Amino acid sequence: MRNWRRVIAALAVAAACAPGTWLRAPVDARPPQHVTITHVAGPATVSSAAGWRREGVWQISAPGLRFGGFSAMLALRPGSLRAFSDRSFRLTLDEPGLPDADGSMNRQLSVRGLARHLTDIESATRDPASGQYWLGYEQTHAIQRFTIASLPAGERLLADLVDWPENAGIEAMVRLADGRFVIIPEAGDTGLIFARDPIAGGTPQRFRFRLPGKGYVATDAAQLPDGRLLVLLRRLEWPGREAWPPFSAMLAIAPPPRPGGIFAPRPVLRLDAVVPRENYEGLALRARDDGRVDVWVISDDNFSVFQRTLLVKLVFDPLA
């Protein structure tokens, strides 16, 4: 009986984590131009962590095969977010709570000759001054730069610099305020630091990272106004009544890594007790006038009917 339980658990995890379009009924393959935003949970004080408050949780949904799989997110102009998917689409979304909040999807363009290879977007970062942004891709271990109008403006393949598995590449990428780029892969324990835009060339320096909690991997990261990095972490859990979907998530903080140093973020908030369990993979920050920070988190539904695309808003007070 125990062996059968293990088999059933393994199948459940596979169903939740593998791309699951086969689980859906036949639907329109065109990208949706409008999404539905459904309120799931309201404001709540987080008693387990000082300085944190949950502002809300929303489910984002839309018909069609193109919707879902969001693994990275950026904060754009005030009131606007943009999420990127495993199938090279972007969702530009009004922040829930605004009047007539809506969103639409578009294909993320790529340079000619690489469009078939640059599809699995896993990380994103942005220069707020110019509006340019960079996307990190799994499988190819590539970085692509885009203009503020989302037009391709250069690319670089890192395959000759790293030995990461195909499905465990650039999971988190942050352009620091001083212009450096920090990259944390899903596999291994070594990250990269570029002194400038990786598209412009240059050899990266390396750092070691030690993530808190056994089995956790970094799925996204962003720089707080005080210069520290906020890191989103996720772990695959043993499925059960208390762990379904079978994921655990937390947020951790550390100063930016130094070349040759060890990056060891410290846990500050365990999400499991604050928001519904999901496969949270995207993180975006927005500074507030009062010194607090809006923290937005989005989940990757793995294109499975067993999961949801959830958008979470937290508020963090760094001085609490």
Q: What is the C-alpha separation between 260 and 246, in angstroms, rounded?
A: 35
- Supply the pLDDT for residue 80: 95
Six token digits for residue 274:
């604050």
Domain boundaries defined on the chain:
2-316
pLDDT in tens, the chain (320 residues): 334 344 444 445 555 554 443 344 445 567 777 889 999 999 999 988 999 999 999 999 998 888 999 999 999 989 999 999 998 999 999 999 877 778 888 899 876 666 566 788 999 999 999 999 999 998 889 999 999 999 999 999 998 999 998 888 899 999 999 999 999 999 899 999 999 999 999 999 999 999 998 999 999 999 999 999 999 999 999 887 777 899 999 999 999 999 999 999 999 999 998 999 999 999 999 999 999 999 999 999 999 989 999 999 999 999 98
Token match 């977010």: residue?
A: 81
Contact 105, 32 (CB under 8 A): yes
Token match 């089995």: residue?
A: 215
Please give the model's pTM, rounded to 2 decimal places.
0.89
CATH 2.115.10 applies to domain 2-316: yes
Six token digits for residue 95:
């922040």
- Supply the pLDDT for residue 73: 98
Strand pairing partners for 206? 192
